[in-house]
Amino acid sequence: MSKINITKCDTQEVTLEISVSIENLVEVFFQKFNQKLQEAKREFIKSDQEKDEILCSLAVCDLLKISQTTLTKRIKDKTIPYSKCGRKLLFSKNEVLNSIKKGT
């Protein structure tokens, strides 16, 4: 049961007295909590999906605005990290960008 009483009212100030049952207060709290939890969950899933991307050599060249020859040099001097899948080189976008930022 909710009840609002105006205990003082003048042109400058209004004083309210609010009575709310514990059950109603708890229900409102949990509704808001669940709403915020669902929003956070959606954000987490979205950021997790955008977290990393696997790139091929051409995509890395395009990303870094470098030639294939320069990429080959950076692979040989281990400046740009990569993985191999058969004969194909694969690059983690996050690892590539981090290695460029660090200058290693």
User: HEC string of 17-48?
Assistant: EEECCHHHHHHHHHHHHHHHHHHHHHHHHHHH
Q: What is the pLDDT along the chain (104 residues), one digit of tens a residue?
A: 566 666 666 777 878 777 878 888 889 889 999 999 998 888 877 765 567 889 999 999 999 999 999 999 999 999 999 999 999 999 999 899 989 888 75
Q: What is the pLDDT of residues 91-101, one digit of tens each?
A: 999 899 989 88
Q: Is 81 exposed, middle or buried (0-12, 13-18, 19+ CB in 10 A)?
A: middle
Name the strand (E) or helix (H) holding 77: none
Cβ atoms of residues 81 and 91 within 8 Å:
yes
